[in-house]
Structure 1
Amino acid sequence: MTADVNISLTLFIEYLQIEKNYSQYTIEHYHRDISDFFMFMSEQAISGIEEVQYSDARVYLTRLHENRLSRKTVARKISCLRSFYKFLLRENLANDNPFSLVSIPKAEKRLPGFFYEQELQLIFEACETNTPLGIRNLAILELLYGTGIRVGECVKIRLSDLDFHLSTVLVHGKRNKERYVPFGSFAHDALEQYIQKARAELLKGKEDHGWLFVNFRGGPLTDRGIREILNKLVEKSALTGKIHPHKLRHTFATHLLSNGADMRTVQELLGHSFLSSTQVYTHVTNEHLRNTYRSHHPRA
């Protein structure tokens, strides 16, 4: 393997960071996927990126399938390498894109999971409201369900982003996109209770860093911290399985559409760039309607 290989990867990562403004999480995936392909090149005695042919790309695709990776993972890896070579062509570091004609396997269509209202009620009831941490957890739960924001957006909220007069929160989304999202009376009350009664206790006299949600040490709450909080609430509610924060986002969207909200409004609230990302929730609501019909109609 030549030094040019590593240089090309460094340049591509800088491009993703500076020009594309991708998150660190996404960049790590790109770095890992391309590094895995470099290992394959070494095994195949391919010394330079410009030497990779379409036939090599096909062999690599076969290798991914032999490793029994999911279709989604295979599709991500091939898409990553296609983007990598597209960048190399732009920078005149390669003469061809060997992955341009490699067909990406279609991912399994999985409908997003969501909570029924009765299940969600059990999780809300699992929140203790007589401790600072319990009051904080209820505020997190009400805000996630009441706005549909991502957990990564939730941990980035500062006190100054909240407007209690208008009941809105300024959300800092993906790629530095910002949007205002309204929240309802339940989230309004839970947030006020948390800020007035619990947050100062959790800070424990430390200098206020301005982040809305605080961990038990007084520092800013992390993505992982919220996941642990939600999983403990699910365990306490006696519901089976683990919860991922996106399930509350799915629930928010599904409940809105089930109750008559229009697609464009839900798209804007979720911060989706494309309507197609929001349309998946119509499949959820339609499936729910079909199941209800089959279960209750005499001639279903």
Structure 2
Amino acid sequence: MLIEMVQKDFLAERRYEKLTDNSLQSYTNLFKLFNEWLSQKGIERIEELSPRVTKEFLIWCQEERKNKPKTINSKLKLLRALAKWMIDEQMIEEPFTKNVKLQREDDAPKILDEKDLQDVLRYLRRVRRREDTFTSRRNYSLILFMAGTGTRLSEVCSLTWRDIDLDSSLITIRTSKSRKAQSIPLSNVLRSELMDYQDFLQRKLGRVPESLFVTREGNPLQKDSIQNIFKRLRAKLGLQGYFSPHTLRNHFIKGLLRGGLNLREAQLLARHSKIEVTKQYVGYYQHELKDALDESNPLRGLL
């Protein structure tokens, strides 16, 4: 049986099971890359798949495509799901991913330097005052929104103005990672910013588009467009540290913990399904605790 035909059947079943669009796209992208590599090796039938083939493919991804452990592991997990389905369908007897182990990942969250974020916002405010361009105003609101809500990139792309309740200061996330609708509070500062941004859209475009963050033409911003915004700002300002959409989420969670929220409260606001994920953020800003220790030194008054 041809590998590509099996993959098509697998994807059709996953669509029937209502797998998210993001997950389906992940499978599609992987299968395209995997099949191109298999074609170079002269492999086209499922009988030719084996753990050795899987390892060689992942090694190629690491060495030739410079994939990091997290990306390698994501590919392996997707291939494992395909192999398990093929076994369930009695196409093969043993998984072609058998004994292929995940790589060790650095699970420390990539934390954004506070000064870098301040520099970015200061730069955008300066450009906005000087030029009042659409992109500078939108980008300022976008980065402030992500830093102030901890929303994921995919969630930001899917948000519409109907999801923003300015009266109740509440945001509804309808396409969350858990696939369940979730709500997060909107701070007073961010609420005021969004109201100003909404007025700006009305003035610049003559209307308020359906999507929250849009292009000059009023079309929804896509993932790659937002990622490019971060890349350009990082290059423009010469930032040396981490600066990406996900680091703003990390910055949000770190800020909650540093501000005094307990783990449970931070977990709820971060919308982590497991508190263990939230715990990863504790201890990644020890250098910032030095001043707090000096102010609340347990030895004060003893010496």
Normalised TM-score (structure 2): 0.78
For residues 240 and 54 of structure 1, the distance between their equivalents in structure 2, rounded to whole angstroms, comes to 40
Q: Which moved more, 1:74-83 or 1:253-262?
A: 74-83
Alignment match, 1:21: 19
Percent identity, please: 23
For residues 75 and 82 of structure 1, the distance between their equivalents in structure 2, rounded to whole angstroms, comes to 10
Contact 1:132 1:201 in 2 (8 A): no
| 2:124 counterpart of 1:127 | yes
**Counterpart mapping for 1:10-49 below 5 A:** 10-19=8-17, 21-24=19-22, 26-38=23-35, 48-49=45-46
- 1:8: how far off? 0.8
Alignment match, 1:187: 190
Q: What runs of 5+ residues in structure 2 fail to find an aligned partner?
A: 298-303
**Counterpart mapping for 1:86-125 below 5 A:** 86-116=84-114, 118-125=115-122
Equivalent position amino acid for 1:256 in 2? L
CA 1:99–1:288: 2 relative to 1, 3 Å: farther
Contact 1:85 1:97 in 2 (8 A): yes
Residue 253 of structure 2: SS of its match in structure 1?
A: helix
For residues 145 and 83 of structure 1, the distance between their equivalents in structure 2, rounded to whole angstroms, comes to 34
Equivalent position amino acid for 1:49 in 2? I
For residues 247 and 272 of structure 1, the distance between their equivalents in structure 2, rounded to whole angstroms, comes to 16
- 1:95: how far off? 1.9
Give the counterpart of 2:145 among 143, 146, 162: 143
Q: Which moved more, 1:152-161 or 1:227-236?
A: 227-236
Q: Which moved more, 1:219-228 or 1:92-101?
A: 219-228
CA 1:137–1:48: 2 relative to 1, 3 Å: closer
Residue 211 of structure 1: SS of its match in structure 2?
A: coil
Q: Which moved more, 1:249-258 or 1:88-97?
A: 88-97
**Counterpart mapping for 1:1-300 below 5 A:** 2=1, 4-19=2-17, 21-24=19-22, 26-38=23-35, 48-54=45-51, 56-57=53-54, 67=64, 69-116=67-114, 118-128=115-125, 129-130=128-129, 131=132, 133=134, 134-172=136-174, 173-174=176-177, 176-196=179-199, 198-204=200-206, 209-234=209-234, 239-240=239-240, 243-286=243-286, 288-289=288-289
Equivalent position amino acid for 1:274 in 2? K
- 1:147: how far off? 0.5
Q: What runs of 5+ residues in structure 1 fail to find an aligned partner?
A: none
CA 1:74–1:220: 2 relative to 1, 3 Å: closer
Equivalent position amino acid for 1:11 in 2? D
CA 1:227–1:201: 2 relative to 1, 3 Å: farther
Contact 2:86 2:92 in 1 (8 A): yes
For residues 138 and 172 of structure 2, the distance between their equivalents in structure 1, rounded to whole angstroms, comes to 19
